[in-house]
Structure 1
Amino acid sequence: MNVGWIGLGKLGAPCALALQHFAGHDVIGYDLNRVRVERMFSEGGDHGEQGLTDLIDRGPLKLAHTAAEVVAHADVVFVAVQTPHAPAYGGETPAPWDRRDFEYAFLVQAVRDVCRAAAHQGKPITLVVVSTVLPGTCNKHIRGLLNPFVSLVYSPLFIAMGTTIADFLRPEFVLMGADRPEHLAPVVEVYGQLHDRPVFKTSIESAELIKVAYNTVISAKVVIGNAIMEICEKTGADCDEVIDALSLATDRVISSKYLRGGMGDGGACHPRDLIAMSWLAQRLDLSYDLLGQMAIAREAQTGWLANLVERWADQTGHPICILGKAYKPESVLTAGSPALLLAHQLRERGHEVIHKDIYVDGEFDRPDEPRVYVIGTKHPIHATCNFAPGSVVLDPHGYMPDQAGVTVIRIGRKS
């Protein structure tokens, strides 16, 4: 099938390449920043994305100069442009009390360009909006741009930066929303060439909510897991044992994934989606802004960890060093990183903080003097580090081994 993909950023480019090389579709891509995309294709490197270099080596995408060129080529046009939050709402720092919706200007412009091109060319197309939006957005911002040549489908992806390709190739399910069921057929065909995963078909409004609800439920599990870790640290219980027991309750608790004690929720989607959903709760005047309280809990739990770091720094007199800036293991991506939030909170309290990440910075500091270390990211390599005698290692994840002459504290765990 002839496919167009508008928006070739960190998520869009891997997905478009996967459709080309794994599904065999004839894909053409377009991005406002063509220079950045051409550089990505020519320079190689992992770009923080597992498997992207291999896909680029198979052959880059054809690139269009305009959205109109994409429409001329494609029967199905995916729009995966950014719907950003202001930097203060990304999760790396405490979020302002004044909540906000996402910014939709890029999405509106891309959809407008596609719709105008389809009308001008007199060509019927299926427009698939992939970008994350809050419920009601398509009705408010998108439907008014449509014309008789454009059928709208809202089909967001459940993918994470760093593992985009694997997530795209093997999703738990594919979500598709449309006003009319027949609009879904071309999109089902596109994905049917890629995998055999189930398709959940619904209205556009429900699909909008399912996407952000999925992310906020994960955020809730992280908050609960960290609350259990904090209780265990204060009572002598073991948080891993607690979660292992809860994990057996598959009828009611479902699974232990994301429920482990550790750092706060992170990534480019989850913290910002949680904050945006809090804005929506306030705008809809819900009886209680539970989602806003979850965002507050995420920051408060990081604040509690900062308290623990402070106590050990005051007790030992050692400098503070956070190991890991990335939001997840073996990644260079730092969007929404809880480790950055921790560093921010400690610096706000007046502490000097050394912050290192072997993946992000390309090197690992190996000091001779003792420090108070915090394992901010669960990089496997941290478990092999030799710390200076007298150091204190605070491990929220519970995976660091004991080391002679070093105090290792697996937070909320007995052993």
Structure 2
Amino acid sequence: MKVGVIGLGKLGLPCAVAMALKGHDVMGYDLRSELMNKAPRAYLETGPDGHEPFNPYLERSTLRFGSLDEVARHADILFVAVQTPHEAQYEGILPLPESRADFCYEHLVEACRSLAEVVTRDTVVVVISTVLPGAIRRHVLPVINSRIKLCYNPFFIAMGTTMRDFLNPEFILFGQHDVEAAGVAETFYRSVTDAPFYATTLENAELIKVAYNTFIGFKIVFANTIMEMCHNLPGTDVDSVMGCLKMAGGRLISPRYLDGGMGDGGGCHPRDNIAMSWLARELKLSYDTFDSVMLARERQTEWLAGLMCAYDLPKVILGYAFKADCNITTGSPALLLQALLEQRGHAVTLIDPHVDPASLQASELPVAVYLIGARHSEFPALRFPPGSVVIDPWRYMPANQPDVRVVPVGVGPRMAH
């Protein structure tokens, strides 16, 4: 099928490469001309199996680039992967502000308006950007022309493993505005995956997307609540407690996102919770659950800051990417920890070999209190100077270094026998 992708950022580009990998004739366009090439990307992204690097797939891809007009004339189905950003204070890297805001739809609206100027034949246009319920009908439909057969199809991917997640989804969520267009899209997806195709209204699809993302935040906050309890309850261990709850896969939960550690991060979490908090207030719901989740995430991070401040040593956050073995810092809970420590008057050193390779010189590590902010695979091999304290929310750092105190967060005091 002839496919167009509008927006070649961290979402659009890997998905365009994945579509081409499945044999489709894919042409991409981005307003930023410097992205319209096959040069290696600086951010860490993996290939289809989630392990090998993305850049070789990009370089070998049949993906082509063209102007907006060329892409529109080429494509029978167009995917719009344009950002709907939040301002920095709503990304989860700073303490939660009193104000709330919807996403910014300016870029998405402008992209759809520009498409309406160049689409001159019936074309299926699929918006995949994250929006709040009602946004497509309110902001997008008024700016498109009758030739655009619109659908809403948000992707459930994680930055860093975008190709793998696109090719192996749990389900395909599809908000229908044009039934025939949805049929074309389903035919396209049958060449990509055999995952279930869930067709519903535009508004249902918009809500399902952000409900899915914010539920992950709920799970992480719950696991970290149990971690904090276990840290103070003799004889308890968060990994044992959550290990049992993970077995309740039939009635309760799946095992994913049920490990005590740092809070959630990335481009969708926690910003979706903050946006849903705004929506809850707009709708005057009886209780703003999403606000509580974000406050819990912040308070849990403050608690970790308190563990660091118990030691009169310099403060170092080791790993500030938003997740393990990744160099993306968007929404990083470790950066929130930095902000909270600085609010208390502490200088903070950030070290992360994935974000800044020059920052980690093992021979130059100072005597300090370290908190492991991201569970990078190379950290257990580090050797810390005597007198240091290592606070480990992930419970994976070895405790066999002489004169170094390793504090596994979530493991309670030893019981007296």
Q: What TM-score results when the alignment is normalised by the length of structure 1?
A: 0.94
Measured in 2, the distance between the counterparts of 1:60 and 1:402 equals 49
Q: How many residues align?
A: 403
SS of the equivalent of 2:46 reads: coil
1:48·1:333 contact (CA, 8 Å) conserved in 2? yes
SS of the equivalent of 2:370 reads: strand
**Over aligned residue pairs, what C-alpha RMSD do you find?**
1.4
Amino acid at match of 2:319: G
SS of the equivalent of 2:70 reads: helix
2:8·2:35 contact (CA, 8 Å) conserved in 1? no
Amino acid at match of 1:187: A
Is 370-379 or 189-198 further displaced after alignment? 189-198
Amino acid at match of 1:339: A
| Shift, 1:145, TM fit | 2.2
Is 390-399 or 179-188 further displaced after alignment? 179-188
Output aligned runs, 1:7-406, within 5 Å.
7-21=7-21, 23-38=22-37, 41-42=38-39, 44=40, 47-51=43-47, 52-59=54-61, 61-65=63-67, 67-118=68-119, 121=120, 123-236=121-234, 237-311=236-310, 313-314=311-312, 318-363=313-358, 364-366=360-362, 367=364, 369-403=366-400, 404-406=402-404
2:370·2:391 contact (CA, 8 Å) conserved in 1? yes
| Shift, 1:57, TM fit | 2.1
Partner residue, 2:50: none
SS of the equivalent of 2:270 reads: helix
Measured in 1, the distance between the counterparts of 2:246 and 2:179 equals 38
Amino acid at match of 1:17: V
Alignment deviations for residues 89-109 of structure 1 (CA, whole Å, 9 cap, x no partner): 111111311000000011001
1:369·1:388 contact (CA, 8 Å) conserved in 2? yes
Q: What TM-score results when the alignment is normalised by the length of structure 2?
A: 0.94
Measured in 1, the distance between the counterparts of 2:125 and 2:286 equals 36
1:68·1:113 contact (CA, 8 Å) conserved in 2? no
| Shift, 1:368, TM fit | 5.8
| Shift, 1:60, TM fit | 5.5
Measured in 1, the distance between the counterparts of 2:286 and 2:189 equals 40
Amino acid at match of 1:386: R
SS of the equivalent of 1:359 reads: coil
| Shift, 1:369, TM fit | 4.4
| Shift, 1:144, TM fit | 1.6
2:26·2:62 contact (CA, 8 Å) conserved in 1? no
1:46·1:53 contact (CA, 8 Å) conserved in 2? no
- Runs of 4+ aligned residues of structure 1 deviating over 3 Å after TM superposition are none
Measured in 2, the distance between the counterparts of 1:147 and 1:267 equals 34
| Shift, 1:88, TM fit | 1.1
Amino acid at match of 1:411: V
SS of the equivalent of 1:360 reads: coil
Alignment deviations for residues 43-71 of structure 1 (CA, whole Å, 9 cap, x no partner): x2563111321222213622122x22221
List runs of 5+ in structure 1 lacking aligned partners.
Answer: none
1:328·1:377 contact (CA, 8 Å) conserved in 2? yes
Measured in 2, the distance between the counterparts of 1:300 and 1:174 equals 35
SS of the equivalent of 2:239 reads: helix
Q: Percent identity?
A: 47
2:249·2:255 contact (CA, 8 Å) conserved in 1? no
Amino acid at match of 2:334: A
| Shift, 1:410, TM fit | 0.6
Alignment deviations for residues 349-393 of structure 1 (CA, whole Å, 9 cap, x no partner): 110111100111113132364211100000011111111112111
Amino acid at match of 2:219: K
